[in-house]
Amino acid sequence: MIFVNPSFEPGFSFKKPDRTPIEFHKKLPEYKPTPLHSIPSLAAQLGVSGVYVKDESSRLGLPAFKILGASWATYRVLLDRFPDLQEGWQNVDDLKEKVKSCGPIVLYSATDGNHGRAVARVAKLFGLKASIFVPKDTANVRISAIESEGASVTIVDGTYDETVERAEREANDADGLLIQDNGWEGYEQVPRYVIEGYSTMLHEIDDSLAAMSQPRPTHVFVQIGNGSFAEAVVRHFRSGSLSTSVIGVEPDSAACALESVKAGKIISIPGPHQSIMVGMNCDSPSLVSFPVMQKGIRCFVSISDERAMEAMRLLAQLDIESGETGAAGMGALLEIVSKENTASREELEISSTSAILVISTEGATNSDLYLQVIGKRGES
């Protein structure tokens, strides 16, 4: 489904996030900007001036971008509790030593994969423990990846939102730190820190385009899920005088943001959600991010699993490894430019002068499924 947002406010702009998070991330092991690929062959095929793919298949040693938000949010939450941590450290080993003096701390989080592994990795980097909760249908390979970071994993007999509720209860009972990337009434600051953390990737995109002597994108395709990353993208690309069109993508079976915008309020899409795009199998959008998406996303697109797999295969042919959720932005682009959606392309003003940005948010985080879809790397 393609839904052009009637609540979109074209004249509304946000304050551009500063570069404080990227300076923090530069102190973490294995930091380097992830690649921004220019795909002229696809641009010619689609009849646009440029197509760019931000490749998050390897980010700070993990196969997804989520550690950007998890690391910054954890650091900021620790500072809120222990302000003295801010001074006197130059690298993670220094910070780890300072955190030791704060006593035993456990990070809690709910996830369907990437965010939980990111929280677990951050806990290990900072010398903390992590307790991660996952919905019952989470793939074993994702659970094993979280456990490989030294975290404990609890499987919850419920949906993603029910898993979040369980993690919150457990964190409160144990006086732990809940590091969640979606927000609800009474839990709003941590998701805002997560959103700030994602700005590192977006500043890197600006820097890469400038190095290529290319203009800012006219259209950006972004995965929604609970909406935290989508909010970060809106805030960045609709700041100041910028007029980039942001197009949000969700699975057909879990289009909670699309349906909420249609209803004019947050609504829940009952689970269980079975899309292969597990990073977006959410019941409802974040209370924190929904207002920003409502006014800042120009168009919402829901896609089928088949369209996501088509995008995975296309990206593999371009030598970009992208998992099911990671390829969804490309899937939405293919949906909009398909022959049967000519009117939508025209309404979104995608033309020969358009520069399109797609963000591949993960690599092959479920290697078994990736091989089923791709066959082998680069084979259609």
The predicted-structure confidence for 198-222, as pLDDT tens digits, reads as follows 999 999 999 999 999 999 999 999 9
* 308-352 per-position pLDDT tens digit: 999 999 999 999 999 999 999 999 999 999 877 788 888 999 999
Per DSSP (E only), the strands in 113-269 are 129-135, 152-156, 177-178, 219-223, 245-251
134 by DSSP, 3-state: which?
strand
Rounded Cα gap, residues 73 and 191, in angstroms? 8
- Which DSSP state fits 16? P
Rounded Cα gap, residues 68 and 245, in angstroms? 24
Within a 10 A sphere around the Cβ of 193, how many other Cβ atoms? 22
Rounded Cα gap, residues 375 and 298, in angstroms? 35
Task: State mean pLDDT over 114-134.
Answer: 96
* 165-204 per-position pLDDT tens digit: 999 999 999 999 999 999 999 999 999 999 999 999 999 9
DSSP sequence for 304-334: -HHHHHHHHHHHHHTT----TTTTHHHHHHH
* 240-272 per-position pLDDT tens digit: 777 899 999 999 999 999 999 999 999 999 888
* 97-115 per-position pLDDT tens digit: 999 888 899 999 999 889 9
Task: State mean pLDDT over 285-300.
Answer: 96
pLDDT band at 229 (very low <50, low <70, confident <90, very high): very high
Residue 138 contacts residue 117 (beta carbons within 8 Å): no
Rounded Cα gap, residues 259 and 268, in angstroms? 9
Angle, CA of 255, 260 and 261, to the nearest 5°:
105
pLDDT band at 379 (very low <50, low <70, confident <90, very high): very low
Beta bridge partners of 155: 134
Task: State mean pLDDT over 293-320.
Answer: 97
* CATH 3.40.50.1100 boundaries in the chain: 2-64+191-374, 67-187
Residue 257 contacts residue 1 (beta carbons within 8 Å): no
Rounded Cα gap, residues 304 and 250, in angstroms? 9
Residue 69 contacts residue 59 (beta carbons within 8 Å): no
* 14-34 per-position pLDDT tens digit: 888 899 999 999 999 999 999
State yes or no: pLDDT of 377 exceeds 70: no
Distance spanning both ends of the chain, measured CA to CA: 26
State yes or no: pLDDT of 378 exceeds 60: no
pLDDT band at 376 (very low <50, low <70, confident <90, very high): low
Host H or E run for residue 357: strand 355-360
CATH code of domain 67-187: 3.40.50.1100
Note every long-range contact of 59-63, with CB atoms under 8 Å and residues 24 or more positions apart, other chains counting.
59/34, 60/25, 60/28, 60/29, 60/30, 60/31, 60/121, 61/29, 61/30, 61/121, 62/114, 62/117, 62/118, 62/121, 63/114, 63/323, 63/362, 63/363, 63/364, 63/365
**CATH architecture of structural domain 2-64+191-374:** 3-Layer(aba) Sandwich (3.40)
Percent of the chain with pLDDT over 70: 99
Question: What mean pLDDT is reported for the chain?
Answer: 94
pTM metric for this prediction: 0.95
Identify the residue with better confidence: 380 or 313: 313
Residue 58 contacts residue 31 (beta carbons within 8 Å): no
Angle, CA of 177, 101 and 119, to the nearest 5°:
30
